[in-house]
Every structure is written in structure tokens, then in C-alpha cells.
Amino acid sequence: MHWPPSVARFRLQFACLGGMTCRWHTWLARFPERSPMLLIHRRITHHPLSPVAIRTHKSPYRQGFQLEQSNSTFESHLIRCLQRAFQVTDPDPRLQLKNPQIAALLTFIIPGAGQLYQGRTFKGAVFLICILGTFLFGMQKSGWRAVYAAEVEETEHGFNNVRRSARWPLGYFAQAGMGLPATFALIQRQRFLSADNPVMADSIDGPTEFEFEGQITSGRESVDVSGTLKLESYMQGGAQNVRGVFSGTDKEGLELNFPVEPIPSERFMASPMGASARRHINVGILNPERDQAIGVLRGTTARPLMNWLLMPPDNIALGELHGGLGKTFELAVVCTWIAGLLNILAIWDALEGPAYGYGDEQDEESDGKSDDAKDDAKSTADDAQPTPATA
């Protein structure tokens, strides 16, 4: 059975059960040639499930297998059988992996970069265009929100008490092959779940000014508005409160300016960090003369890029994504999974070289078959010779 070198190496490593290795030529030397035990072990070494251990298991493209050569005809034949059975090849001088660990790290960060570092231009270009292109396509289709390292659920436990729980999305482990965005998503997960990102932002640190887009709702009427929302905190009765002023215009250009205040029964502002590029704000519009709410101002303000890029979405944000993009979002996420998984192959290629071989092994296979025929003929001739009598 033909086993690719990479699979063969894995099997050989796996076969070193408990870390035990054995030196074949030493162990075999205990048995005389053509003994039943040797024939049995010869049969075993041809079997793919053979628990054969070889001294070294390094990549043939780095140093090659160091099967110890022997002067014994039988042992040389056995070594050739092992090499053919596990398709172990000598190092190919055409392939220079340079520093494979650095190449693998480069490929992990940017697909194809490791291959370009090794001088394998065609492969580097293939991985760069195919893998990175697929990933970027997925990200663009999803509004740059396909990669996230947590699925967040916010549940209410009584008035003004919202708890946040996060779990690992399975898809992230497929995207983890793309090192740079996956690592950044991990950092964003930590920032999202930190104390700097409270579930309910009911207060502000100081005077703050937001660019604002939203709607004024009073009774059954609503008007689209845009402008600036200025907020400041103040102390009243030992408690911190927030008040502010909205300045802007409606769609027809009519200038608006009125005081606002958080609505007690609603969440005032979304968390500073979230999956959406815009942050929700809900405030009540005050009648300054009577100091009572006469309407509601609901809208959004822009979040800084670092506060929303690759941030974990909560169930509401995920619902908005699926509702807004539909199947396109699922396609986008699948594209990022595919890119991540393919990059694992690219990393392996940078670390160990091509899995099956250089690509011109057909000549070696035909040589191997002719070697087989010669060995079979020789062993038949050996068997036909009479066994010398022992004294």
C-alpha cells in the first residue's frame, strides 16, 4: 500500500508507542537469516498497521530519514522494504525549506508568506490569492463580522440587572487557521468581557459629545433626525444622573434643539464595545418648562473601529446580521471556515514540504517496481540454494 510520506511519518511517530523505539538492525541481528521469526517480521513490516519504530522521524525534505545502512544483504533489503512500505524518500535537493518554523509562522499570520520566504513563489502566490482571497471575500460579504471568538447571551435578572454569558463558537476553531484575524478576535473577546465594557452603560465619565442619527417619536408620529448629542453627568440626591442636549435637523432641514434625559424604564446606552459599528442610545425628550418627557429620541452613534471590529456579537446583533444579510451571512462565514482550514494545509506545507512529493515521482515508482522484481528474483534464487549443513 502506498502511503504519502507525511502520513507515513505520522504513522511512524504514532507507532513509537510509549516513546519506545527499537534499533532494527541490532534487534534483527539476534536472529539468523531466513528464520521463521525474520520472515514473520518481514511480513509485518510490509503491513501498514505494523508497529514499526524507526530511530528518527524528521521530514525527508529537511534531513531525511536516517535508517542505518547495513552491510548485510538481508538487512539492506529489509531497509529498502521499509522505505518502500512507508514511502520514505531521500531529501530532495530541489526543495529548500530554509527555516521551516519561521516559514510556518509567517504562513500562519499571512497565507502564502512562508512559501514566499522559502522562495516557492508559485505556491506562495496560490495560497495568498486563494486562501486570503476567500477569507477577505467572506469578511466583506458579512460586513467584516464573520469572525468572532464568543457567542454572547445577555439575560435580564430583574430590573436593571442584565447578565452576560459567553460561549465559544465552534466555527471559530475552523477560522483559527487564519492566525492574524483569529488572534485579533481573541483579543477582542477579552476586551469585550472585561470590566471596561459594562453590560449596561447607564452613566458617562464626563461631558461627551456624540454624532447622532435616529428618530424622534411622540405619540404615533416619528421624524428622522440627525445631529449632535451632548451628554454630561451630574449628582442629584447622592445618585449620579445624566442629562444632555440634542442639536440637529430633521430631513427637511428644520433646526431642532431640546434637552434630553435617560428614560428610567429603558436601557440608556449600549455597551461601549459591541459587534455593531453603531451604538444604540435611547433618551427621553424633555419639555423644559414642565420638566416632563414629551417624546423619545432613539438612534445610534458611531463606535470607534477598535470597539466593533471582530467583537463578539450578542444574540440581538446576531439576529440583526442574519435578518439583514440572510443566506449571504452564512455563505460568508463558511468562506472564512474554508480559508482557515486550507491555511492549516499551507502551514503544514511550509513546515514539512509537499505532502505527497515533488511531483515527478513516477520515474521513482517505476524504478521501485524494477527493484522489487530484482529483489524477488534474488530472494527466489537464495531460497532455491541448498542450506549449508551445520557442524
Partner 1 sequence: MVDLSITWYVIPLSAVISLAYSASRYELTEKILQRATRLFITITTCMLVAFAVLWAFSFRL
Binding site for partner 1 (CB under 8 A): 4, 94-95, 120, 122-123, 126-127, 130-131, 133-134, 327-328, 331, 335, 338, 342, 345-346, 348-349, 353-360
Q: Tell me, what DSSP letter sits at residue 84?
A: H
Output 117 or 127, the one with its CB closest to partner 1. Answer: 127
Tell the smallest beta-carbon distance from residue 131 to partner 1 (Å). Answer: 6
Write out the three cell numbers for 178: 487564519
Q: Which is nearer to partner 1, 134 or 142 (CB)?
A: 134
Torsion of CA 113, 114, 116, 117, to 10 degrees: 120
Residue pair 225/285 in contact (Cβ under 8 Å)? The answer is no
Amino acid (1-letter code) at residue 244: G
- Least distance between partner 1 and beta carbon 69 (Å): 27
Q: 297 or 332: whose CB is closer to partner 1?
A: 332
Residue placing its CB nearer to partner 1 in the complex, 94 or 251? 94
CA 96-100-102 angle, 5° bins: 125
Tell me the three cell numbers of residue 249. Answer: 435637523
Handedness of CA 146, 149, 151, 155 (dihedral sign): negative
- Whole-angstrom distance, CA of residue 79 vs CA of residue 75: 6
Select 286 or 338, whichever has its Cβ closest to partner 1.
338
Minimum distance from CB of 305 to partner 1 (Å)?
28
Distance in Å, CB of 247 to partner 1, minimum: 44
Give the nearer residue to partner 1 in terms of CB position, either 94 or 220.
94
* Main-chain dihedrals φ then ψ at residue 34, nearest 5 degrees: 65, 20
What pairing do the DSSP bridges indicate for beta strands 278-287 and 151-156?
unpaired
Closest distance to partner 1 from the beta carbon of 66 (Å) = 23
